[in-house]
């Protein structure tokens, strides 16, 4: 193409619209991928936060009362532990008054 042959106005508009549409689609795809990544990271963080909260309440109870909590319900009633029971299963096994209980937290996957 030489400098005297210019593309027609229709062709320039068509190329501009194509670029705009492709750019818009790329931005939307990047946005959706970012949301998906943040969602998966957030789910992992929630499990860790619940684990930390349960352990903190167990140690707090031992420090205040001199013995470990006898049940998970005791922690919920006396120390304000709350969590989404439809999403997490907390297995709390007390081993004795002066032995730290075994706590296992499992995420329930819904389909």
* Position 44 in a domain: yes
Q: What radius of gyration do the chain's Cα atoms show?
A: 28
* Position 30 in a domain: yes
> Token digits for 63?
């420090």
Q: What digits encode the pLDDT tens for the residues 27-62?
A: 999 999 888 888 777 777 888 999 999 999 999 999
Query: 51 lies in which domain range?
Result: 9-107
* Position 3 in a domain: no
Q: What digits encode the pLDDT tens for the residues 58-88?
A: 999 999 999 999 999 999 999 999 998 999 9
Whose tokens are 């194509």? That residue is 18
Residue by residue, DSSP assigns the chain as: --TT-PPPHHHHHHHHHHHHHHHHHHHHHHHHHHHHHHHHHHHHHHHHHHHHHHHHHHHHHHHHHSS--S-HHHHHHHH-----TTTEEEEEE---TTSPPEEEEEEPPP-
Q: What is the pTM of this model?
A: 0.63
* Position 66 in a domain: yes
* Position 1 in a domain: no
Number of domains in the chain: 1
């Amino acid at each position: 193409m030489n400098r005297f042959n210019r593309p027609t106005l229709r062709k320039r508009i068509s190329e501009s619209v194509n670029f705009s549409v492709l750019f818009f689609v790329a931005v939307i795809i990047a946005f959706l991928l970012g949301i998906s990544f943040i969602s998966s990271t957030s789910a992992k963080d929630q499990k860790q936060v619940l684990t930390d909260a349960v352990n903190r309440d167990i140690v707090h109870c031992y420090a205040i009362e001199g013995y470990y909590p006898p049940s998970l319900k005791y922690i919920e009633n006396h120390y304000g532990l709350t969590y989404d029971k439809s999403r997490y299963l907390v297995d709390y096994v007390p081993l004795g008054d002066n032995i730290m209980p075994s706590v296992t937290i499992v995420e329930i996957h819904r389909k």
